[in-house]
Amino acid sequence: MSISTFALAALPASIPSPPQGVWYLGPIPIRAYALAILTGIIVGLWVTQKRWVARGGSAETATEVAFWAVPFGIVGGRIYHVVSSPDAYFGPGGHPWNAFAIWQGGLGIWGAIALGAVGAWIGTRRQGIRFAPFADTIAPGLLIAQAIGRLGNWFNQELFGGPTTLPWGLHIDSTSPTFPPQYPPGTLFHPTFLYELLWNLAAAALLIYLDRRFRLGHGRVFWLYVVFYTVGRFWVELLRIDPAHTVLGLRLNVWTSIVVGLGALVAFLLVGRRHQGREDDLLLTRTAAEDELSQ
């Protein structure tokens, strides 16, 4: 047997799904989805602290801002999920109270980014620092947090792509409520959780490189983060087969990726024309107009 033949034979026939996503500590459920989100937040915050200290700030300041951004982001992510997928909560057989059951999964990244940015803005104002450089600092950490959070979808056996015969096809338990009934048991599916995880990690590394190479500032790293993420989310969404609202034949999140991505690209270019380089001062300097508004 040749080396290449042996290597191909050694490849796994499929990616197995975890046998369970919930463990019990007495009466208390420990959910893999929640652990993935929590781990992503911790690692993302650690990366942000390191980057903020390198910019001349303090790790404590980054943590204080995160105390505002994280809860806002979770609430925003849940609101977007419920609004964009209302049938499970308000449709036939739906249970409205389940809209609050965040531990069962369901966070929309678009809502998380939007409302999380509001929380971060509040936090930076309270800490007396500029919002734009902090947004640039947190961008790679967000991608890493999102990558780790996708492991929760793996444990939940959800949000996978269409059938595939590739050696990294994902096995879904045929008894799982997420298994598409139109396919026979044993069908393998595209592991879109893994595609997005790898894309996000690669995008985070590229962001860090570009930031160091070109000394990007004034929010350009954050806008570039949005561009990178939406490009990846665009093609990943085209592979997914879970139920979703469609507009003109495309999933809602595909259109959202297009609109948000183009908007971020325009913002990146416009900010780049107005500001070159990176901010030297991280502290918030109040203008006379701001002083008048605060009176």
Question: How far apart, in whole angstroms, are the C-alpha atoms of residue 172 and residue 269?
Answer: 43
Cα dihedral value 240, 243, 245, 247, nearest 10:
40
Structure tokens at 157: 């056996």
Output the pLDDT for position 66.
Answer: 96
Q: Yes or no: say if 138 and 64 are a contact pair by the CB < 8 Å rule.
A: no
Which string of DSSP letters, residue by residue, matches 239-295?
HB-S---EETTEEHHHHHHHHHHHHHHHHHHHHHHH--S--S--B----HHHHHHH-
pLDDT at 263: 98
Instruction: Round to whole Å and give the CA distance between 72 and 53.
Output: 24
* Residue 1 confidence (pLDDT): 45
Domain ranges of the chain: 31-56+128-294
What is the reported pTM?
A: 0.89
- How many residues can be counted in the chain? 295
Task: Please give the pLDDT value at position 103.
Answer: 63
pLDDT for position 96:
77
Predicted confidence at residue 295, as pLDDT, reads: 38
Residue-wise pLDDT tens for the chain (295 aa)?
444 444 434 445 789 999 999 999 999 999 999 999 999 999 999 999 999 999 999 999 999 999 999 999 999 998 888 887 777 777 777 677 777 776 666 778 889 999 999 999 999 999 999 999 999 999 999 999 999 999 999 999 999 999 999 999 999 999 999 999 999 999 999 999 999 999 999 999 999 999 999 999 999 999 999 999 999 999 999 999 998 889 999 999 999 999 999 999 999 999 999 998 899 889 875 443 334 333 3
